[in-house]
Chains A and B, each alone.
Chain A
Amino acid sequence: MSDTRELILEAKHVTKRYPASGGRTLTACRDVSLNFYRGKTLGIVGESGCGKSTFLRMVASLEKPDEGEILYRGQDLARLKGEKLRQHRQKIQMVFQDPAAAFSPKMKVMDIICEPLLNFKRIKRSEKEAAARKFLEMVELPGEFALRYPHHMSGGQRQRIGIARALTLEPELILCDEATSSLDVSVQKTIIELLVKLQREKQIAYGFVCHDVALVQSLAHQVAVMYLGSVMEILPGDQAASGCVHPYTKALIGSVFDLHMDFQKPIESMDDEAPSPFDMPPGCPFQSRCPQCMEICRRERPALKEIGEGHLAACHLTAQGETE
């Protein structure tokens, strides 16, 4: 891998467990190692409950990992406390799935957008409206929206305001947790175009979590596929559709309804449900649904191994070189 890329944040072997009822523990993320680079997008896909949101929350310092470390420019985030942590939060911002729930309904748009700026004393109260107009323009909304309330806006407009608020502190990394999932496709497209434009202008890194494989591969430089807390495959975005090797990635892509698919062919889908994260079997997490499960898969957990440039997979098949 050519290292012209500038590493911003590095997650190393991060594990997160939650206590659950009956004295059990739920491992939401297991040994996850992912990197964020300046001006690049890391897309994370997977089914619900695969730990993708938990991972984002740890990167945003909303949760602490139980094992492993998250390094922001070499600095361990878990050690930051108090004022230092507060100052650090400016660097990483988040955009949420439901912008209606992320804003206080009693605040005007300009208060929403400028709250972070006021918190960090970057502007004076008197400059609020002007600042809000500037950021509204940046997300392609008319300036007079500054005086409105969020419930007067459509979902797409609200999501733009969520993006504007995330932009105010000039973060290096913006984490989008299903940021476009509740929007209609045509609106989704405009939001993605906006995100990509902002990335080009400001060299922002994105962490883009989404369950839509087709969407993620269209905007991510690197795609990580997660399943039940583990990363199964990491591959360059432009190869996601054609170059994937992991059986889970293939199954995930096979079950997408694509407009250009062969409609005569029956849709592929896995029959079983994902096993409960409470009683995970030893070995590969995907073994119970994998069409190519072998004996070793039941015993030994496959490690992520590099199989090509920027392409890693955690599968015994590739380790043995048995896939095409």
Chain B
Amino acid sequence: MLSMRNVSVTYGNNPVPAVENFSLEMKQGEIVSIVGESRSGKTTVIRAVLGCLPGGGYVSRGEISFEGRPVSGFGREEWRRLRGTEISMIFQDSGAMLNPVRRIGSQYVEYIRTHEKMGRRAAWERGARMLEQMRLPDGEHIMRSYPFQLSGGQRQRVGIAMAMTFQPKLLLADEPTSALDVTTQAQIVRQMLKLREEYHTGIIMVTHNLGEAAYMADRILVMKEGHIVDAGTREQILAHPSSAYTRNLLDSVPALGGYRFV
């Protein structure tokens, strides 16, 4: 479905690419986690997939193709058809994505009607139904709320609901749980796993939480300073990491009932 071959991404005139030689082949229904610390280039990778690199970033080498078609040749209209319907994205804080002075409902309806010919009433109902499927009780109430009236976990569910409205083939998740409490984190992860079961969605999950990545993903990529340093299944990465960096990373994660400093 998605294929990235030797992709390098450069920002502006910076001679050092933010991501270098990144390759990934992905099938539908697969979950891949990209793990790394800050500035490892993990967010840049998924932004490149969606063709929305910020600040003068561009793919300087290699090729990204989605369902066999190279995305580099896409015009505005093609991107518009793809984004939000075939490929969609969840951000770290869906609250920041939403307009603070408009109710959820009005934004949701606009989003649906941008991508599909549909009446207001029908779009509203579809939005409310989608919210309820994401286990937000009383979708009507959420539709009538402003983003600030919702908790962080609720806002994130709204973000997921919106991203999943058109049952995209590929979902890009950029640290969707990092800003949440552990209990809510677990809820969101369960929700995302259900997406795969129900809609057969492929997910690229960017996270710095190794435990979460290991729990969710079929495959894990470990990135450092723009390069993939380790790639493999959960077993391979957790039990037999090939790079010293991954080993160090694994050692640094505090474990329940594990090593104690005192």
CB < 8 Å neighbour of B255 from A47, A238, A260: A260
Q: How far is the CA of A217 from the CA of B258 in the complex (A)?
A: 9
**What is the distance, in angstroms, from B247's C-beta to the closest C-beta of chain A?**
11
Interface membership of B13, Cβ < 8 A: no
Bound-state CA distance A217–B249 (Å) is: 19
Q: Select the stretch in A98-106, A107-115, A157-165, A188-196 that faces chain B.
A: A188-196
Chain B residues 82-116 with CB under 8 Å of chain A are none
Given contacts A193-B261, A218-B259, A218-B261, contact A256 B234 (CB under 8 A): no
| B37 with A184: CB separation less than 8 A | yes
Q: B208–A184 contact, CB under 8 A?
A: yes
Docked pose: A196 CA to B254 CA in angstroms? 15
A219/B186 in contact, CB under 8 A: no
Within 162-206 of A, Cβ neighbours of B (below 8 Å) are at: 184-189, 192-193, 196, 199
Which B residues between 185 and 211 are near A, CB-CB below 8 angstroms? 185-187, 189-190, 208-211
Q: Which residues 132-184 of B have a CB within 8 angstroms of A?
A: 135, 151-154, 181-184
Question: CA–CA, A238 to B238, complex, Å?
Answer: 25
A187 contacts across to B, CB distance below 8 A: 37
With both chains docked as a complex, state the minimum distance between the C-beta of A246 and any C-beta of chain B, in angstroms: 14
Q: Which listed residue, B154, B185, B190, B257, touches A241 by the CB 8 Å rule?
A: B257
Q: Which residues of B contact A196 (CB under 8 A)?
A: 261-262
Does A259 sit within 8 A of B, measured CB to CB? yes
A189 and B215 contacting across the interface, CB-CB below 8 Å: no
Q: Does the CB pair A238–B260 fall under 8 Å?
A: yes
Q: For A127, what are the chain B residues with a Cβ–Cβ distance below 8 Å?
A: none
How far, in angstroms, from A241 to B182 measured CA to CA in the complex? 15
Whether the pair A188, B215 counts as a contact (CB closer than 8 A) is no
A258 adjacent to chain B (CB < 8 Å): yes
Most buried by A among B190, B255, B261: B261
- Complex contact A257–B185 (CB within 8 A): yes
List residues of B (203-262) whose CB comes within 8 Å of A's CBs. 208-212, 214-215, 234, 238, 248-262
Q: Are A185 and B253 in contact (CB under 8 A)?
A: yes
Scoring A residues 245 to 257 as 1 if CB is less than 8 Å from chain B, else 0, what string do you get?
Answer: 0000001111111
A189 to B261, CA, bound (A): 10
Which of B187, B234, B256, B259 has a CB less than 8 Å from the CB of A269? B187
Contact status B153-A219, CB under 8 Å: no
Q: Which of A79-87, A207-215, A294-302 contacts B (4 or more CB under 8 A)?
A: A207-215
**Contact: B190 with A269, CB < 8 Å?**
yes
Give the nearest-CB partner of A265 in chain B. Answer: B215
CB-CB under 8 A for A252 and B182, given A257-B214, A258-B211, A258-B255? yes
Contact yes or no, A185 B257, CB < 8 A? no
A219, B262: Cβ atoms closer than 8 Å: yes
Q: Are A256 and B182 in contact (CB under 8 A)?
A: yes
Task: Output the nearest chain B residue to A238 by Cβ-Cβ distance.
Answer: B260
| B6 located at the interface, meaning its Cβ lies under 8 Å from any Cβ of chain A in the complex | no
Question: DSSP class of B's interface residues: helix, strand, loop or mixed?
Answer: helix
Residues of B within 8 A of A271 (CB): 135, 187
In Å, the complex CA distance between A128 and B47 comes to 47
Q: Is B60 an interface residue (CB 8 A)?
A: no
Known: A184-B38, A217-B256. Contact between A259 and B210, CB under 8 A?
Answer: yes
Q: Is A288 an interface residue (CB 8 A)?
A: no
Which residues does chain A contribute within 8 Å of B238, judged by CB atoms? 259
* A74 interface residue (CB < 8 Å to B): no
Chain B residues bordering chain A, tally (CB within 8 A): 40
| Structural contact, B234 and A214, CB atoms closer than 8 A | no
Q: Which of B151, B251, B254, B259 contacts A273 (CB 8 A)?
A: B151
Asked whether, in the complex, the Cβ of A219 is within 8 Å of the Cβ of B261, the reply is: yes
**CB contact under 8 A between A263 and B248, given known A185-B208, A215-B254, A256-B256:** no
- Restricting to A224-264, which residues have a CB under 8 Å from any CB of B? 237-238, 240-242, 251-261, 263
- For B7-26 the 0/1 string (1 means CB < 8 A from A) is 00000000000000000000
Picked from A47, A263, A266, the residue with its CB within 8 Å of the CB of B190 is A266
Contact partners of A211 in chain B: CB under 8 A: 181-182
Asked if A185 and B37 make an inter-chain contact with CB atoms under 8 angstroms apart, the answer reads yes
A38 located at the interface, meaning its Cβ lies under 8 Å from any Cβ of chain B in the complex: no
Does A62 make an interface contact (CB < 8 A)? no
Task: Kindly identify which residue among A193, A255, A258, A259 contacts B185, using a CB–CB cutoff of 8 Å.
Answer: A255
Cβ B256 vs Cβ A214 within 8 A: yes
Contact B260 A237 (CB under 8 A): yes
Q: Which residue of A lies closest to B188 (CB)?
A: A269
Flag whether A41 is at the interface (Cβ < 8 A).
Answer: yes
| Contact of B254 with A212 in the complex, beta carbons under 8 Å | yes
A187 to B254, CA, bound (A): 12
Within 8 A of B (CB), among A70-92: none
A221 within 8 A of B: yes
Q: How far is the CA of A219 from the CA of B261 in the complex (A)?
A: 5
Further 10 A-B residue pairs, CB within 8 A, beyond A47-B181, A221-B262? A48-B181, A184-B37, A185-B253, A214-B254, A217-B254, A218-B255, A252-B182, A257-B215, A259-B214, A268-B186
| 7 nearest A-B residue pairs (beta carbon) | A257-B211, A269-B186, A241-B257, A255-B186, A184-B37, A47-B181, A241-B256
9 A-B pairs (CB sep. < 8 Å): A48-B181, A185-B253, A189-B252, A196-B262, A213-B256, A214-B254, A240-B257, A269-B190, A271-B135
Question: Taking beta carbons and an 8 Å cutoff, which residues of A are in contact with B?
Answer: 41, 47-48, 155, 184-189, 192-193, 196, 199, 211-215, 217-221, 237-238, 240-242, 251-261, 263, 266-271, 273
